[in-house]
Amino acid sequence: MADIDTAALKDNFAVVAGHGPDEVALYFYSYLFLRYPQTREMFPPAMTKQRDRLVAALLRIVSNVDKVDQLVPYLEDLGRDHRKFGTVTAHYPAVGEALLTTLRHFSGSAWTDRLAADWAAAYGVVAGAMSGAAEKVAVTQPAYWEAEITEVDRRTFDIAVLTVRTDEPVPYLAGQSVSVEPTTARPREWRWFTPANAPGGLEIELHARLIPGGSVSTALVRSSKPGDTLHLGPPFGRMTLEPGSRRPLLMVAGSTGLAPMKAMIQQVARDGGRRTALYFGARTGREVYDRKALTALSDWHGWLTVVTAVSDDIRWSGPHGLVGEVAADAGEWSDHDVYVCGSPAMVGATVKRLLADGVPQTQIRFEEFGEA
């Protein structure tokens, strides 16, 4: 984007966003659906979350518009992921037109030909990266995988462990997530879930925790049943085992943040085993929903230590407290590869504490779950 005035784009976007991010996104989608009505069916009836996503993506793109090396991998992932919505290369000009019209609309008198040209050029780069990556992967990969639920194990009233089966293996890496669309209960709504087993097989274990008001999580936990169909989107996320690293591992998981850790532990076992400490945290003893598997894992693998900490249960006989603090108090982790997954609050507090304890930032990888 050498000949694009990126500073001007950032300034202009700030002006536009000043009208209210949701207002801008509403205008964008309304224009898109008005001019290209066929695109409407690619989106769910309720668009609130979709608008949040658009604004977040735009913000990320605009913030990094002058850092192409960081932006391009993100855009390529985004492009590959958009295939599951039915997005094809032909849709990109329509979106570009809607975007430029929206920017012009909210820029008012600040809109200039130069800005229009710069935005058009920048969008060309974005669309090129996205559609290029999508076209490239389309040769070898479907837009999504169809999966049938084979087992629903409701472990607590708000946590379920689902086993699903695909016709061909989904090419994720241990620790990565896939987006899930409950095709009957919540069509066209996708949320991230992390496989709890290492890749390669046809079965995938998903851990779903019900988020109050969360449509997809509610559907999966409360109303899914064997035989239901899910769509699984392409894998996403960079919380994976670092290739070639022989450092010991510290894994800190809160609630269903356990899923990626289980997958990575399986992967470590396949790779020959490595000293690993898994700290699992839950609020109550009942919410230690995968106790049997945790016991089995630590029994099978001599190199694995499992500690379960509970924060709000007077009846719990093991360690009490927030799992991040229990883990940090328990040892010296600065020579470990550290993985953290859980609620945003849990991840934030744990990462902060570990950094303060001297764990290098480059050795910490984390993923937040929540609204997904």
Partner 1 sequence: MTDATAGMPDDITGATLTSAAFSPAKGFSRGGYDAQEVDRFLRLGAAAVDRLNGRLVAAEQRLREAGAQIQELRDRIERDSRTNEVQHAISVLTTAQITADSTVAQADEYSARVMTEARDLYDDARRDAAVLQQETEDKSRAVYEDALQRVADVERENQQRLAQLTLAAVSAQNELDEQTTYLRTLRDAASIQMQKFLEGMLDHVAEEYGRAHPMAAGAAGAARVPAAGRSVAATPGRTQARRSRRNQRLPRRPGTPSAPTPKRRTPGIDDVAAVSLGPDSQVSTQVSEARTQNDPGD
Asked if 7 is part of the footprint of partner 1 (rule: CB under 8 A), the reply reads: no
Asked if 212 is part of the footprint of partner 1 (rule: CB under 8 A), the reply reads: yes
Residues 216 to 245: which contact partner 1 by CB under 8 A?
218
Residues 277 to 336: which contact partner 1 by CB under 8 A?
284, 286, 312-315
Q: Residue by residue, what is the 3-state secondary structure of the chain?
A: CCCCCHHHHHHHHHHHHCCCHHHHHHHHHHHHHHHCHHHHHHCCCCCHHHHHHHHHHHHHHHHCCCCHHHHHHHHHHHHHHHHHHCCCCCHHHHHHHHHHHHHHHHHHHHCCHHHHHHHHHHHHHHHHHHHHHHHHHHCCCCCCEEEEEEEEEEEECCEEEEEEEECCCCCCCCCCEEEEEECCCCCCCCEEECECCCCCCCEEEEEEECCCCCHHHHHHHHHCCCCCEEEECCCECCCCCCCCCCCCEEEEEEHHHHHHHHHHHHHHHHCCCCCEEEEEEECCHHHCCCHHHHHHHHHHCCCEEEEEEECCCCCCCCCECCHHHHHHHHCCCCCCEEEEEECHHHHHHHHHHHHHCCCCHHHEEEEECCCC
Stretch of 70-78, 80-88, 214-222, 241-249 lying at the interface with partner 1 (CB under 8 A):
214-222
Asked if 190 is part of the footprint of partner 1 (rule: CB under 8 A), the reply reads: no
Asked if 181 is part of the footprint of partner 1 (rule: CB under 8 A), the reply reads: no
Asked if 6 is part of the footprint of partner 1 (rule: CB under 8 A), the reply reads: no
Asked if 158 is part of the footprint of partner 1 (rule: CB under 8 A), the reply reads: yes
Stretch of 9-17, 22-30, 62-70, 165-173 lying at the interface with partner 1 (CB under 8 A):
22-30
- In a 3-state reduction of DSSP, which class is residue 372? coil
Asked if 27 is part of the footprint of partner 1 (rule: CB under 8 A), the reply reads: yes
Asked if 345 is part of the footprint of partner 1 (rule: CB under 8 A), the reply reads: no
Mark 58-97 with x for binding to partner 1 (rule: CB under 8 A) and - for no binding: ----------------------------------------
Asked if 33 is part of the footprint of partner 1 (rule: CB under 8 A), the reply reads: yes
Amino acid making up residue 26: L
- Judged by beta carbon, residue 5 or residue 313, the one nearer partner 1 is 313
Stretch of 41-49, 82-90, 126-134, 273-281 lying at the interface with partner 1 (CB under 8 A):
41-49
Stretch of 179-187, 207-215, 268-276, 339-347 lying at the interface with partner 1 (CB under 8 A):
207-215
- Judged by beta carbon, residue 213 or residue 272, the one nearer partner 1 is 213
Asked if 213 is part of the footprint of partner 1 (rule: CB under 8 A), the reply reads: yes
- Quote the distance between the C-alpha of residue 369 and its chain's center: 7
- Judged by beta carbon, residue 271 or residue 312, the one nearer partner 1 is 312
Residue owning tokens 């764990």: 359
Q: How far is the CB of 262 from partner 1 (least distance, A)?
A: 25
Asked if 48 is part of the footprint of partner 1 (rule: CB under 8 A), the reply reads: yes
Asked if 215 is part of the footprint of partner 1 (rule: CB under 8 A), the reply reads: yes
Asked if 30 is part of the footprint of partner 1 (rule: CB under 8 A), the reply reads: yes
Specify whether the CB–CB gap between 288 and 207 falls below 8 A: no
Q: How far is the CB of 367 from partner 1 (least distance, A)?
A: 24
- Judged by beta carbon, residue 225 or residue 315, the one nearer partner 1 is 315
Structure tokens at 7: 């500073």
Specify whether the CB–CB gap between 335 and 254 falls below 8 A: no
Asked if 36 is part of the footprint of partner 1 (rule: CB under 8 A), the reply reads: no
- In a 3-state reduction of DSSP, which class is residue 142? coil
- Judged by beta carbon, residue 10 or residue 35, the one nearer partner 1 is 35
Q: Applying CB under 8 A, which residues contact partner 1?
A: 26-27, 29-31, 33-34, 45-48, 157-158, 210, 212-215, 218, 284, 286, 312-315
